[in-house]
């Protein structure tokens, strides 16, 4: 059943105020509450969010910062936060996801994405932006997606509060090194769905960057994990290791051993979070398509926990959630 579009009049008024003539064409929605509409022939998109959404200002701030560094984020053409609308530059339709599906060079695309990260992390002002830290508060908020959504469904008999207390205590110790790090602007959803090829630009600027309104200051390893350990697709054999080597080769001042440890630690954290988030998207929002990716995320999570040396966390999960590696939730009937 089609839901009424209550914001259509407000959307039309915003477009008219900024003297845009084309009727907006809705683009496919994802897991976020944001909606995008293409204004055909203008090179612009209308971004629609909840009025006064806290991440609206962050989107504008991060976009301007990335562009000042010579990277490609959408230019903000007009914005009315109290109305929940912005006109932004339209990067077209060539997402990495679409290009990969059409047979584009996987290695070349991923190398471009890594080069954009290298440029961001090597920029002297890359982390000089007023954003919150990716510290224990957001890290734990994400882990609670696992304890509040995944755990009750894969192990219904577990007392959630008791498990969560033990689980978070182990993670507190494990995450201490990265939760105190403020070395990089972390975009947080750096994967092929949010990256685009801009063929008329050069170098790392050829990589169009999207969906960074949740950015925080934290470890430089996080976005590389997000890119190379993708919850939605498998990379070619050996490509992840190649990209990690490429990144480190262009950042000679980085302690390689420490970076690799942070890489696997944040991978374990991210996959744990995603297990809970995909279950939540299905149970709460009726977005069941994400459940198809759970076997991959379970495999990635087990691998990263092992590589990061998180043996106590593995032991706790195996003891109290014995089916966590193979849990197959069924979509709810909502």
Residue 9, Cβ density class (10 Å: 0-12 exposed, 13-18 middle, ≥19 buried): exposed
For the chain, residues with pLDDT lower than 70 are 1-5, 19-23, 29-32, 332-334
Give CA separation, 120 vs 2, 72, 76, 271, 333, in Å.
42, 11, 20, 24, 44
Q: CA angle, corner 35, sides to 232 and 11, nearest 5? A: 170
Tokens encoding 28: 């496919």
Give a three-class secondary structure readout of 277-292.
Answer: HHHHHHHHHCCHHHHH
Distance, C-alpha 200 to centroid of its chain: 26
> What residue has token string 């006109």?
87
pLDDT confidence of residue 1: 41
pLDDT confidence of residue 14: 78
pLDDT confidence of residue 21: 59
pLDDT confidence of residue 332: 65
Report the sign of the C-alpha dihedral through residues 308, 145, 55, 289, in that order.
positive
Decide if domain 8-89 falls under CATH 3.20.20.10: no
pLDDT confidence of residue 6: 75
Residue 259, Cβ density class (10 Å: 0-12 exposed, 13-18 middle, ≥19 buried): middle
The whole-angstrom separation of Cα 14 and Cα 211 is 22
Domain residue limits, the chain: 8-89, 96-320
The whole-angstrom separation of Cα 111 and Cα 278 is 28
* 96-320, CATH topology level: Aminoglycoside 3'-phosphotransferase; Chain: A, domain 2 (3.90.1200)
Is residue 96 within 8 Å of 192, Cβ to Cβ?
A: yes
């Amino acid at each position: 059943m089609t839901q009424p579009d209550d914001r259509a009049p407000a959307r039309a008024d915003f477009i008219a105020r900024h003297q845009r003539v084309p009727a907006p064409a809705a683009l496919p929605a994802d897991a976020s509450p944001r909606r995008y509409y293409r204004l055909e022939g203008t090179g612009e998109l209308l971004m629609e969010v909840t009025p006064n959404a806290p991440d609206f200002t962050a989107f504008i701030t991060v976009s301007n910062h990335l562009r000042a560094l010579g990277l490609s984020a959408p230019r903000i053409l007009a914005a009315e936060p109290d109305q929940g609308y912005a006109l932004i530059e339209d990067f077209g339709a060539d997402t990495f996801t679409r290009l990969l599906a059409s047979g584009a060079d996987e290695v070349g695309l991923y190398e471009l994405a890594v080069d954009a990260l290298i440029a961001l992390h090597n920029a002297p002002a890359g982390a000089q932006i007023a954003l919150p830290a990716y510290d224990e508060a957001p890290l734990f908020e994400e882990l609670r997606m696992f304890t509040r959504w995944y755990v009750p469904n894969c192990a219904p008999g577990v007392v959630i509060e008791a498990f969560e207390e033990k689980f978070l205590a182990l993670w507190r110790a494990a995450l201490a090194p990265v939760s105190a790090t403020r070395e990089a602007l972390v975009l947080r959803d750096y994967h092929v769905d949010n990256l685009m090829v801009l063929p008329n630009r050069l170098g790392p600027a050829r990589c169009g960057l999207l969906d960074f309104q949740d950015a925080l200051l934290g470890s430089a390893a996080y976005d590389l994990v997000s890119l190379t350990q993708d919850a939605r697709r498998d990379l070619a054999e050996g490509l992840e290791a190649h990209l990690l080597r490429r990144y480190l080769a262009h950042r000679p001042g980085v302690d390689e051993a420490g970076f690799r440890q942070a890489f696997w630690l944040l991978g374990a954290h991210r996959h744990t979070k995603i297990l809970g988030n995909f279950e939540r998207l299905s149970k709460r929002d009726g977005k069941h398509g994400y459940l198809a990716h759970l076997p991959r995320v379970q495999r990635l999570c087990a691998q990263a926990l092992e590589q990061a040396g998180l043996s106590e966390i593995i032991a706790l999960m195996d003891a109290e959630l014995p089916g966590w590696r193979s849990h197959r939730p069924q979509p709810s009937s909502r």
